[in-house]
């Protein structure tokens, strides 16, 4: 719920640094600022988008020399009267400034409250709000660029154009109902069906783009799985190019899963080493195996690691079981420990499984660069983006519902149903698009989105 009071918070990361910024926003910002700032003129008399140098005081005590940036409503980040104090970095100074502002009548902002006010005051739409959160938490340069694209609002403009087209079409169809006796047709059914099919396809493709965006946002998920002692941990270390997992000849050494990240082609790779999959009575190891199966369920790529000295029969059966249970992932078969073969590589056709096969020695490094290159290429392909991209699951979920509504409208047209049924489906699509951009919203949806933000944002 929007509270029309004045809030303040540190908006730069806390800690030692050259500069810190404290933001004050709300209807009483200038009155409160005047109590604490001593400069050539009161800040309440200053023009918008001006910066002033002076002293920040609490009572008569000097806290710091500061700059004060003035933003008058509605031309500020929040759309409210805003003052941003720039002080010297450090925990004590910035905390004292916040305490002084609270003593003068402000309150400490809640997490994400500045951005929430910007949304409620029409400065940002919901897609842009989510882009800000993704920009803050971006783990790769491509992911940050993707969030920045959303922030400038191009996608929102196209979504609003689609919504307006649906509103106008639904209005014409509903107008036909008012002239039902005359059997007037204000919209060509052939043209309308073509438009609906194109819009449905665009919405579905846009919803599907979330998968590529998720790779850039959260990383390309690669799991090392297989039987105990296949060399999964050694392969994990070799791909990371540093020792991270414990390597031991004792089966069942890895009981939990390990996850580390590195970059290939500028894309974050989330590499996971899992517990060996086997029949066991050990309760802890069983839990590790269950976690391994959860990892496989989330993977973009599953590397099934086999000890080449043990033959392939058992691991092939494991591979087939995994692919049957988790068909969405891309699989590769890794023949490890080729350094232990005395008679060269055994002859075995890759067509047997229909997936890429890599012959490696995780200990010696043979074949590791080829495997890394292949993983990098798969990550690049999975992260290819179109002009318009959705950046989170909420957006994809809503847009799939829009596509379903448009599909239902198209089906009603094909079935020769009356304009009333087609218009109802279009109105449902309009409502969903409004929820997507935040033109209409529910409090619980906003709470979920702003829960990602920290105090000061």
Quote the DSSP letter at residue 300: S
Strand partners for 226: 305
Q: What is the pTM of this model?
A: 0.75
Cα separations (Å) of 298 from 215, 228, 291, 302, 326? 12, 21, 11, 10, 9
Task: Say what the pLDDT of residue 85 is.
Answer: 98
Task: Say what the pLDDT of residue 11 is.
Answer: 95
Radius of gyration of the chain (CA): 29
Q: Which helix (H) or strand (E) holds 353?
A: none
Task: Say what the pLDDT of residue 8 is.
Answer: 97
Q: How many residues does the chain have?
A: 457
Which two three-digit tokens encode residue 117?
Answer: 């006010």
What CA dihedral angle connects 311, 316, 319 and 323, to 10 degrees?
Answer: 160
Helical spans, DSSP H, in 241-367: 283-298, 313-325
Strand partners for 332: 303
Quote the DSSP letter at residue 361: B
| Cβ-based burial of 262 (10 A; exposed 0-12, middle 13-18, buried ≥19) | middle
State how far the Cα of 63 lies from the Cα of 20, in Å rounded to an integer: 13
Cα end-to-end span (Å), the chain: 17
**7-10, strands of its sheet edge to edge:** 37-38, 50-58, 61-71, 82-88, 19-25, 7-10, 107-108
Domains and CATH numbers, the chain: 5-123 (3.30.1360.120), 130-211+391-437 (1.20.120.430), 227-382 (3.40.50.300)
State how far the Cα of 253 lies from the Cα of 245, in Å rounded to an integer: 10
What CA dihedral angle connects 314, 316, 322 and 328, to 10 degrees?
Answer: 170
Task: Say what the pLDDT of residue 276 is.
Answer: 61
Write the DSSP assignment of 212-261 as a string of letters. Answer: HHHHHHH-EEEEEEESTTSSHHHHHHHHHTS--S---SSTT---S-EEEE
Specify whether the CB–CB gap between 106 and 24 falls below 8 A: yes
State how far the Cα of 243 lies from the Cα of 399, in Å rounded to an integer: 43
Q: What is the pLDDT along the chain (457 residues), one digit of tens a residue?
A: 557 899 999 999 988 888 999 999 999 999 999 999 999 999 999 999 999 999 999 998 999 999 999 999 999 999 999 999 999 998 999 999 999 999 999 999 999 999 999 999 999 989 899 889 888 888 778 788 888 888 887 788 888 888 888 888 888 887 777 665 556 666 778 888 888 898 999 999 888 888 877 888 788 899 988 888 888 888 999 998 877 655 545 444 444 568 888 898 888 899 988 866 544 444 434 454 456 677 788 889 999 998 888 877 777 877 888 888 888 888 999 989 888 877 665 555 545 678 898 999 988 989 999 999 999 999 888 877 665 677 788 888 999 999 999 999 999 888 888 888 888 998 999 999 998 888 887 787 788 888 888 877 7
Cα separations (Å) of 405 from 311, 428, 444? 53, 7, 23
State how far the Cα of 285 lies from the Cα of 256, in Å rounded to an integer: 8
State how far the Cα of 171 lies from the Cα of 175, in Å rounded to an integer: 6
State how far the Cα of 406 lies from the Cα of 426, in Å rounded to an integer: 7
Specify whether the CB–CB gap between 46 and 70 falls below 8 A: yes
Task: Say what the pLDDT of residue 28 is.
Answer: 97
């Amino acid at each position: 719920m929007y509270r029309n009071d004045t809030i303040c918070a540190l908006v730069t990361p806390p800690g030692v640094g050259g500069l810190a910024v404290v933001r004050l926003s709300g209807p009483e910002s200038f009155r409160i600022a005047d109590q604490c700032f001593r400069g050539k003129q009161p800040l309440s008399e200053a023009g918008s988008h001006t910066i002033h140098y002076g002293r920040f005081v609490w009572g008569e005590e000097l806290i710091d020399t500061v700059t004060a940036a003035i933003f008058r409503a509605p031309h500020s980040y929040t759309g409210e009267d805003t003052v941003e104090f720039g002080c010297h970095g450090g925990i004590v100074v910035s905390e004292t400034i916040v305490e002084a502002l609270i003593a003068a009548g402000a309150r400490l902002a809640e997490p994400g409250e500045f951005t929430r006010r910007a949304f409620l005051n029409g400065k940002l739409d919901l897609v842009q709000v989510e882009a800000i959160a993704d920009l803050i938490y971006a783990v790769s340069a491509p992911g940050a660029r993707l969030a920045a694209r959303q922030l400038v609002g191009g996608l929102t403009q196209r979504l609003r154009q689609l919504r307006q087209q649906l509103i106008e079409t639904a209005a014409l169809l509903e107008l036909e109902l008012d002239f039902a006796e005359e059997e007037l047709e204000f919209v060509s059914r052939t043209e309308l069906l073509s438009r609906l099919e194109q819009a449905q396809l665009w919405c579905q493709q846009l919803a599907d783009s979330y998968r590529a965006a998720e790779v850039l946002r959260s990383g390309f998920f690669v799991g090392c799985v297989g039987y105990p002692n296949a060399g999964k941990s050694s392969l994990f270390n070799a791909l990371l190019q540093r020792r991270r997992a414990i390597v031991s000849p004792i089966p069942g050494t890895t009981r939990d899963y390990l996850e580390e990240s590195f970059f290939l082609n500028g894309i974050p790779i989330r590499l996971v080493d899992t517990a060996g999959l086997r029949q066991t009575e050990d309760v802890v190891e069983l839990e590790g195996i269950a976690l391994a199966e959860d990892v496989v369920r989330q993977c973009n790529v599953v590397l099934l690691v086999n000890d080449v000295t043990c033959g392939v029969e058992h691991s092939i059966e494991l591979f087939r079981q995994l692919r049957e249970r988790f068909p969405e992932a891309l699989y590769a078969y890794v023949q490890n420990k080729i350094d232990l073969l005395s008679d060269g590589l055994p002859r075995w056709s890759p067509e047997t499984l229909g997936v890429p096969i890599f012959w490696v020695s995780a200990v010696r490094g043979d074949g590791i660069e080829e495997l890394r290159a292949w993983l990098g290429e798969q990550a690049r392909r999975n992260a290819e983006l179109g002009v318009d991209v959705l950046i989170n699951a909420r957006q994809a979920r809503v847009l799939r519902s829009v596509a379903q509504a448009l599909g239902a409208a198209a089906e009603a047209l094909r079935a020769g149903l009356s304009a009333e049924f087609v218009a109802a489906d279009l109105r449902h699509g309009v409502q969903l698009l409004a929820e997507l951009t935040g033109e209409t919203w529910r409090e619980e949806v906003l709470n979920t989105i702003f829960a990602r933000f920290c105090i000061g944002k």
